[in-house]
């Protein structure tokens, strides 16, 4: 395999509505795309880093710099940049998993397109559609929240996730349960907004029969999560804390989690994401696919991953229209609560170049 050029393209898409979490409010999504060109095919990857280092230490400007100065030169200098070798090629450069994931995905997409193999098949998917959940941001009021949840249930989403933070936790959960009943699959996501000292408050969520509480404590607080797990009946799911298959095993053995949210960008790519899936499946631990407000490029690859057999819970694999009025690929549509898995080669979707060009804020091509 020979890489002849790599393009770094930045685009910005307005969100259909502001999305608020415990670490801030977004009204648009800035995205860094990676396009890898080979003699046989082109491949695309999406870097899921945000504009600012709030969800994690990574952010778009740093990811672009890392790709430009270190990762792309290392990979293109390799005599055979096979996607399954890229992780070892980029391993000397510490961290920057989101940047690494974007490049690895683009190379993997190009390689699979060249062979005519869909990503879902390459990963070992067993389904042609996946159940879809939806993430609901922090709202200005309970009535606003109930109206939003009602609209998503009416659309057919099979699971509701509420973002929470101190001061917005017990009341919204109680309101949703009272208005929509116990049959709604409901979970909450704290994005590391709490401390172990908040255990008593978090325990007040136990009576509401939640699927899980996602990342209540800090990213590095595995021991504290294990302590919290002993104090709650609600299962704890880790997100930001899980950065590799090794960390996933450590968290499971410590008792810090009983469910894992797998975000490929957060762990360095879809190949490492599959390893985490395999580890969890071997331990009988359920996993689900998280979301980072991806465009259709990132969403297509996530849906392929979510079709693996160990993904037994609905993920944040919502329809394109949940976030964007106009996506940069053919939009993903919710049908009977599910999203169809692309079956074309590679990630299975093509960017709509006219729309992509209109949304592009900068682009650079690195010849190799």
> Which of 116, 112, 158 minimizes the C-alpha distance to 319?
158
Domains of the chain: 5-116+349-367 (3.30.390.10), 121-340 (3.20.20.120)
SS3 224: helix
Which is the catalytic residue, given 94, 100, 161, 263? 263
With 0-12 / 13-18 / 19 or more C-beta atoms within 10 angstroms meaning exposed / middle / buried, residue 253 is exposed
pLDDT tens per residue across span 19-58 = 999 888 899 999 999 999 999 999 999 999 999 999 999 9
pTM for the model: 0.95
Does the annotation count 2 as an active-site position? no
Compute mean pLDDT per 10 residues along the chain, 368 residues long, and list them.
95 94 90 97 97 94 98 94 93 97 98 98 98 96 98 98 97 98 97 97 98 97 98 98 97 97 97 98 96 97 98 96 95 97 97 95 94
Which is the catalytic residue, given 2, 94, 161, 163? 163
8 Å CB contact between 211 and 159: yes
With 0-12 / 13-18 / 19 or more C-beta atoms within 10 angstroms meaning exposed / middle / buried, residue 331 is middle
Does the annotation count 161 as an active-site position? no
């Amino acid at each position: 395999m020979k890489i002849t050029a790599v393009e770094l393209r930045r685009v910005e898409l307005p969100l259909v509505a502001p999305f608020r979490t415990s670490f801030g409010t977004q009204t648009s999504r800035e995205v860094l795309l990676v396009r890898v060109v080979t003699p046989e095919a082109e491949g695309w990857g999406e870097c899921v880093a945000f504009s600012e280092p709030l969800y994690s230490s990574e952010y778009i400007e740093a990811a672009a710099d890392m790709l430009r100065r270190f990762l792309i030169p290392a990979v293109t200098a390799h005599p055979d940049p096979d996607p399954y070798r890229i992780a070892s090629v980029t391993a000397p450069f510490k961290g920057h998993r989101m940047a690494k994931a974007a490049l690895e995905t683009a190379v993997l997409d190009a390689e699979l397109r060249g062979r005519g193999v869909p990503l879902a098949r390459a990963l070992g998917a067993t389904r042609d559609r996946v159940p879809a959940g939806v993430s609901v941001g922090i709202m200005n009021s309970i009535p606003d929240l109930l109206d939003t949840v009602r609209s998503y249930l009416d659309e057919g989403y099979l699971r509701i996730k509420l973002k929470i933070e101190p001061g917005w936790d017990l009341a919204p959960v109680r309101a949703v349960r009272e208005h929509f009943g116990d049959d709604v699959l409901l979970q909450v996501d704290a994005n590391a907004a709490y401390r172990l000292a908040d255990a008593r408050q978090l325990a007040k969520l136990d009576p509401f029969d939640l699927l899980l509480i996602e990342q209540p404590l800090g990213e590095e607080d595995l021991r504290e999560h294990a302590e919290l797990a002993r104090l709650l009946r609600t299962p704890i799911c880790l997100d930001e804390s899980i950065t590799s298959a090794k960390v996933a095993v450590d968290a499971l053995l410590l008792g810090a989690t009983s469910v894992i949210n797998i975000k490929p960008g957060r762990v360095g790519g879809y190949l490492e994401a599959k390893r985490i899936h395999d580890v969890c499946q071997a331990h009988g631990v359920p996993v689900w696919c998280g979301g980072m407000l991806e465009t259709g490029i990132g969403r297509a690859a996530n849906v392929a991953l979510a079709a693996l057999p160990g993904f037994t819970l609905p993920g944040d694999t919502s329809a394109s229209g949940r976030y964007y009025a106009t996506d940069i690929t053919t939009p993903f549509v919710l049908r009977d609560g599910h999203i169809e898995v692309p079956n074309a080669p590679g990630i299975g979707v093509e960017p709509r170049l006219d729309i992509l060009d209109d949304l592009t804020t900068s682009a650079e091509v690195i010849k190799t």
